[in-house]
Amino acid sequence: MPTDQPVRPGTSARWVTLLSFLAFAVIGVGVVTHLTDGVDTTLLVFAERHRTGLLTPWMLRASQIGAGEIAIPIALLFGGILWWKTGRSSSLFYVGASLSGWAFQTLLKLSFRRARPDVIPKLDAGGWYSFPSGHAMLAVLVFGFAALLLSRGHSAPLRIALIGAAVLLVTSIAVSRVYLGVHFPTDVIAGLFGGTGWATLCLWYRERQMQQAKTLV
């Protein structure tokens, strides 16, 4: 079995973290000041006009996969695979990042307290507060982050395939929330930035911890 290999994001993780949270903050300001209301409404109406009998079942399935009651057990499954593939440290790191990210989005929802959209008919249950999209944040953390970690050490074609599949799934989950009328587009975009920022923040923190441990040896 391969030994536990540390993730070494370097300076790129710091920049992605800062830029992701900056983008999240800009969208948050736009939401609070209602500057994004017009764009949100326009895009929701656009989504409703493009609903089809063929597309709706796929959007419902994507939304179900991104829900916490499905995504979190999948994260635990991926954590088990990581434990077997790379060792305990990477597994616990991934699961910890996913669960803490889930808690983080809950705090963000409580902070913004944005009501769900009432622009087009809803095709799925919406839950509580709207901003940011928990589905979008979890999709990045559970599926995108897992693909990144699981693809390490493999050939370039396999890495591209795994990460490409994760991007497709994350995008489908994010789009489904707008298509189904249960989220504003800015909720979803902010969720994607928030999930990316949290994932790279965890990578950044882990790298710092590893560097500090080396200095003590």
User: Which three-class secondary structure string do you get for the chain?
Assistant: CCCCCCCCCHHHHHHHHHHHHHHHHHHHHHHHCCCCHHHHHHHHHHHHHCCCCCHHHHHHHHHHHHCHHHHHHHHHHHHHHHHHHCCHHHHHHHHHHHHHHHHHHHHHHHHHCCCCCCCCCCCCCCCCCCCCCHHHHHHHHHHHHHHHHHCCCCCHHHHHHHHHHHHHHHHHHHHHHHHCCCCCHHHHHHHHHHHHHHHHHHHHHHHHHHHHHHHHC
Q: Domain range holding 164?
A: 11-216
Q: What is the mean pLDDT of residues 74-90?
A: 90
Residue 5 lies in a domain: no
Averaged pLDDT for residues 14-37: 96
Q: Within a domain: residue 3?
A: no
Inform me whether the pLDDT recorded for 93 exceeds 70. yes
pLDDT value of residue 214: 63
The reported pLDDT for the residue numbered 64 is: 95
Task: Label residue 212 by pLDDT band (50, 70, 90).
Answer: low
Q: Is residue 162 situated within a structural domain?
A: yes
Give the mean pLDDT of 122-126.
Answer: 88
Would you say residue 6 lies in a domain? no
Average pLDDT, the chain: 90
Number of separate domains in the chain = 1
CATH code assigned at 115: 1.20.144
Whether 25 maps to a domain, the answer reads yes
Residue 1 placed within a domain: no
pLDDT reported for residue 132: 96
Q: What is the pTM of this model?
A: 0.88
